[in-house]
Structure 1
């Protein structure tokens, strides 16, 4: 029997980020044995016309489309969706974020908002990252057509069971625990708050306490001003012994950071946030999570069970550090819970199976 064809309209790496990584995982998965995958890489807007022609000519049985959460990107998406609608093609869109509904209802002018509601209503289905994000499409499309497919941690960045056991045993002898911030350096992602936590740890040590935490940062600076802010803050507060910046990490260097860190912090209020893969990577590699109750994070991290969830903007880091110290007696339990939950619900295999269920519903 001839394999059904699925056309993936999405951003493929490079650059590598949460969305492109998830798409690449799907494209390279063993589903290619059951379906014939075709890809249209929409990363470069200069190729828009070429991409439209490819989409128009495609004989795919189903189109899988990862949509944008910006005004300009939305216009591009509406054109693509209109093209598919004219051809009466089946299309499922996958939202890797949590801002789309706010974009449509609050940021777009009347005609563009109306076109979004019309386009969504005609779709075969929509996919969100967690139950708490289903509201984004409610009132736009039948609830039965809203599917939940959580993100996943790539097998490449998951430590082995043997390494995990060693990590658990080593925790008993660790005097200084490494706290990891692994994300892009955008203010609303919360890296300045993590720097302030490092400053408070230094102040505590300067009063005679033992150093208990070291702060590791890794990720990309998109603005020179952000890099200057980071470097100046470290110099001004003399945090060189408490803060290490590792640059943009991948491969073995990223694996080492995930293996050696025991606490992961992402105090994000980033408007476009969906369900950060970095949190899932941290859980799978045996870390206690310190984050915010923002976007789809509430579906994967619960206060006390997975770590610490901050329920308001983190202006007062003085409260966060004592919470971390007080939680230390539960670190073993939390780390083991996070590893187990991640392997069960957020593995690469589980992610692919969840998408397969959606695809088979329409093919």
Structure 2
């Protein structure tokens, strides 16, 4: 009854939503003493843009495939956290087809969005190959009801789609569910916690800080946490350019006293920042976005969220209930939402309370694993809503 789990693990230099979610799944199998084999895709550390082909990565992938084939005979089920690039698809296809041929139970998991666009933007022959490859799956897991259409191009896919929201990652302690308060004599703490990718909206957050601090005189402190990262989906010049441009912008706006860039944060430092934040802001339009785990982390710490009407986010953030939804690239709307809560402490406290309730109802670690693992093992309860 061995399950082969294929996906990327987190590393010191690489932390993404998919990696965090795969770490959680592996720990779920370990904690439940379920027999499994892990094929870790994250060991290659060659520098390249996310999603871009490189020879070193290709050679490493060949070694991983050889390891997968050597172990495939031992597995009853194969679970693959699928990629969202051409090279990633070909790698996955080279595992999907042998698994299907050997009659293994095959579960595919999309940790994001943008997959329908990826399909539509490829040539007809590639689309044909994608349709037939994904039709071999026994189950395809997506993160939310709003993301069901990502595989609409696959015939008969509705019977195979399973919805499993993300869950809170490992490593957090002392989550109390106690609503936060604003203090009249202290600044409102704004937090951006995600990779520093242009389409994630970090410059919009900085612009909103400029509006709040310099124009509206709202007392704020803003923490930016994350690694600058290049992707083939963003037209950024380089990691060094983006970081220098960001730091220069802080200086030009005169925000050195209220804005701090921390880089990547982990462990107790990350927990402290989440506990200290009054508002979490992620105005993303990232092409591969699905259901950001950083939003779940914020909700777990009773932090109201300001994000966008984009992909699966409206299932995490209900506008006016546990946060506010704004249009992408709208720093004025971000500033309005922050100022609205700052001027109404009672409203803020209620939204903070609702943030935890939203987390507790939909996004706990237990709820996530109790939905996902039975799907992988083929032990779903008949009639159960997933």
Work out whether the TM-score is over 0.5: yes
Q: CA deviation at 1:158?
A: 5.4
CA distance in 1: counterparts of 2:63 and 2:152, whole angstroms: 33
Task: Specify the alignment match of 1:264 in structure 2.
Answer: 280
After TM superposition, the score normalised by the length of structure 2 is: 0.85
Asked if the contact 2:322–2:358 (Cα under 8 Å) also holds between the matched residues in 1, the reply is no
CA distance in 2: counterparts of 1:105 and 1:72, whole angstroms: 16
Task: Specify the alignment match of 2:32 in structure 1.
Answer: 33
Task: Specify the alignment match of 1:56 in structure 2.
Answer: 69
Asked if the contact 1:62–1:362 (Cα under 8 Å) also holds between the matched residues in 2, the reply is no
Give the paired residue count: 349
- The structure 1 segments of at least 4 consecutive aligned residues displaced by more than 4 Å after TM superposition are none
Q: CA deviation at 1:202?
A: 2.5
5, 11, 15: which one aligns with 1:8: 5
After TM superposition, the score normalised by the length of structure 1 is: 0.91
Q: CA deviation at 1:31?
A: 5.7
CA distance in 2: counterparts of 1:285 and 1:159, whole angstroms: 10
Task: Specify the alignment match of 2:105 in structure 1.
Answer: 90
| Worse overlay, 291-300 or 173-182 | 173-182
Task: Specify the alignment match of 2:376 in structure 1.
Answer: 359
Q: CA deviation at 1:322?
A: 2.8
2:124 maps to 1:110: yes
Asked if the contact 2:205–2:334 (Cα under 8 Å) also holds between the matched residues in 1, the reply is no
- Higher helix content, 1 or 2: 1
CA distance in 1: counterparts of 2:271 and 2:79, whole angstroms: 31
Q: CA deviation at 1:34?
A: 5.0
Instruction: Give deviations 1:25-77, integer Å, cap 9, x for gaps.
Output: 11112565352010111233333223222322321110000111112211212
Task: Specify the alignment match of 2:304 in structure 1.
Answer: 288
Task: Specify the alignment match of 1:193 in structure 2.
Answer: 204
Q: Secondary structure at the match of 2:4?
A: strand
Q: CA deviation at 1:155?
A: 4.7
Structure 2: 5+ residue stretches without partners: 45-56, 230-238, 381-386
Q: Secondary structure at the match of 2:378?
A: helix
Q: CA deviation at 1:238?
A: 1.1
Q: Secondary structure at the match of 1:156?
A: coil
Q: CA deviation at 1:110?
A: 2.1
Seen in structure 2, the aligned counterparts of structure 1 residues 32 and 259 have a Cα distance that, compared at 3 Å, is closer
2:96 maps to 1:99: no
Task: Specify the alignment match of 1:17 in structure 2.
Answer: 16
The 5-angstrom pairing of residues 35-184 of structure 1 reads 35-43=34-42, 44=44, 45=57, 46-57=59-70, 58=72, 59-106=74-121, 108-140=122-154, 141-157=156-172, 159-161=174-176, 164-165=177-178, 168=180, 170-173=181-184, 175-184=186-195
CA distance in 1: counterparts of 2:173 and 2:315, whole angstroms: 21
